[in-house]
Amino acid sequence: MAIDRQKILDTVPQTGFFGHPKGLSTLFFTEFWERFSYYGMKGILIYYMYDKLTNGGLGLDKTTAASIVSIYGALVYMSGIIGGWISDRFLGSAKTVFYGGVLIMFGHIVLAIPAGFPALIISMVLIVLGTGLLKPNAASAVGELYGEKDLRRDSGFSIYYMAVNFGALIAPLIVGTIGQKYNYHLGFSIAAIGMFFGLVMFAVTKKKSLGLAGSIVPNPLTPEEKKSSLTKIGLGTIALIIILAITIPTKILNLNRFIGLISILGFLIPAWYLVMMYFNKKTTSDERSRLLAYIPLFIASIVFWAIEEQGASLLAVYAAERTQLDFGGFHILPSWFQTLNPLFIVIFAPVLASLWVKLGNRQPSTPVKFSFGLIFAGLSFMIMMAPAYFNGSESPASPMWLVLSYLLVVIGELCLSPVGLSVSTKLAPAAFSAQMISLWNLSDAAAQTLNAQLVKMYDASHEVMYFGIVGLVSAVLGILLLFYSPVIKKLMRGIN
Average pLDDT over residues 66-83: 83
Least confident of 10-14, 81-85, 207-211, 488-492: 10-14
**How far is Cα 22 from Cα 158, in angstroms, rounded to an integer?**
15
* pLDDT band, residue 402 (cuts 50/70/90): very high
Residue 321 has pLDDT above 90, yes or no: no
Note whether residue 230 is domain-resident. Answer: no
pLDDT for the residue 295: 92
Q: What is the pLDDT of residue 2?
A: 46
| pLDDT of 332 strictly over 50 | yes
Q: Is the pLDDT of residue 214 over 70?
A: no
CATH code of 215's domain: 1.20.1250.20
pTM strictly above 0.85? no
Which segment of 102-116, 398-412, 419-433, 443-457 scores lowest on mean pLDDT? 419-433
Residue 282 is predicted with a pLDDT of 86
User: Is the pLDDT at 377 greater than 90, yes or no?
Assistant: yes
Greatest mean pLDDT among 21-35, 229-243, 316-330, 406-420 lies in 406-420
pLDDT at residue 106, as a whole number: 93
User: Looking at residue 297, what is its pLDDT?
Assistant: 94
Asked if residue 65 is part of any domain, the answer here is yes
Is the pLDDT at 72 greater than 80? The verdict is yes
Q: Residue 299: what pLDDT?
A: 94
Other beta carbons less than 10 A from residue 371's beta carbon: 26
Q: Is residue 274 part of a domain?
A: yes
Question: What is the mean predicted confidence (pLDDT) over 357-374?
Answer: 87
Tell whether 236 is covered by a domain.
Answer: no
474 vs 316, more confident: 474
If you average pLDDT over residues 464-471, what whole number do you get?
A: 93
Q: What's the whole-number average pLDDT of the chain?
A: 84
Mean pLDDT calculated for residue range 147-173: 78
Query: What number of other Cβ atoms are within 10 A of residue 77's Cβ?
Result: 27
Closest CA relative to residue 56, chosen from 184, 159, 244, 175: 184
CB contact set of 308 (below 8 Å; sequence gap of 6+): 341, 377, 409, 412, 413, 447
Q: Specify the range with the lowest mean pLDDT, choosing from 16-25, 273-282, 340-349, 420-429.
A: 16-25
Q: Out of 28-32, 295-299, 464-468, pick the least confident.
A: 28-32
Is 71 within the bounds of a domain?
yes
- Residue 480: domain span: 15-219+251-491
pLDDT of 1 strictly over 50: no
Decide if 397 contacts 387 (C-beta within 8 A).
yes
Of the ranges 144-148, 345-349, 413-417, which one carries the lowest mean pLDDT score? 144-148
CA–CA distance, 321 with 397 (Å, rounded to integer): 10
Average pLDDT over residues 272-287: 88
Q: How confident is the model at residue 356 (pLDDT cuts 50, 70, 90)?
A: confident
* Mean pLDDT along residues 304-319: 89
| Number of domains composing the chain | 1
Please say if the pLDDT value at position 352 is more than 70: yes
What is the three-state SS of the chain? CCCCHHHHHHCCCCCEECCEECHHHHHHHHHHHHHHHHHHHHHHHHHHHHCCHHHCCCCCCHHHHHHHHHHHHHHHHHCHHHHHHHHHHHHCHHHHHHHHHHHHHHHHHHHCCCCHHHHHHHHHHHHHHHHHHHHHHHHHHHHHCCCCCCCCHHHHHHHHHHHHHHHHHHHHHHHHHHHHHCCHHHHHHHHHHHHHHHHHHHHHHHHHHHCCCCCCCCCCCCHHHHHHHHHHHHHHHHHHHHHHHHHCCCCCCCHHHHHHHHHHHHHHHHHHHHHHHHHCCCCCHHHHHHHHHHHHHHHHHHHHHHHHHHHHCHHHHHHHHCECCEECCEECCHHHHHHHHHHHHHHHHHHHHHHHHHHHHHCCCHHHHHHHHHHHHHHHHHHHHHHHHHHCCCCCECHHHHHHHHHHHHHHHHHHHHHHHHHHHHHCCHHHHHHHHHHHHHHHHHHHHHHHHHHHHCCHHHHHHHHHHHHHHHHHHHHHHHHHHHHHHHHCCCCC
In the chain, the percentage of residues whose pLDDT exceeds 90 is 19
In the structure, what pLDDT confidence band is assigned to residue 5 with cuts at 50, 70 and 90?
low
Average pLDDT over residues 86-96: 81
The better pLDDT of the pair 460, 295 is held by 295
Comparing 458 with 303, the larger pLDDT belongs to 303
360 falls within a domain: yes
Judge whether 131 lies within some domain: yes
Residue 440 lies in a domain: yes
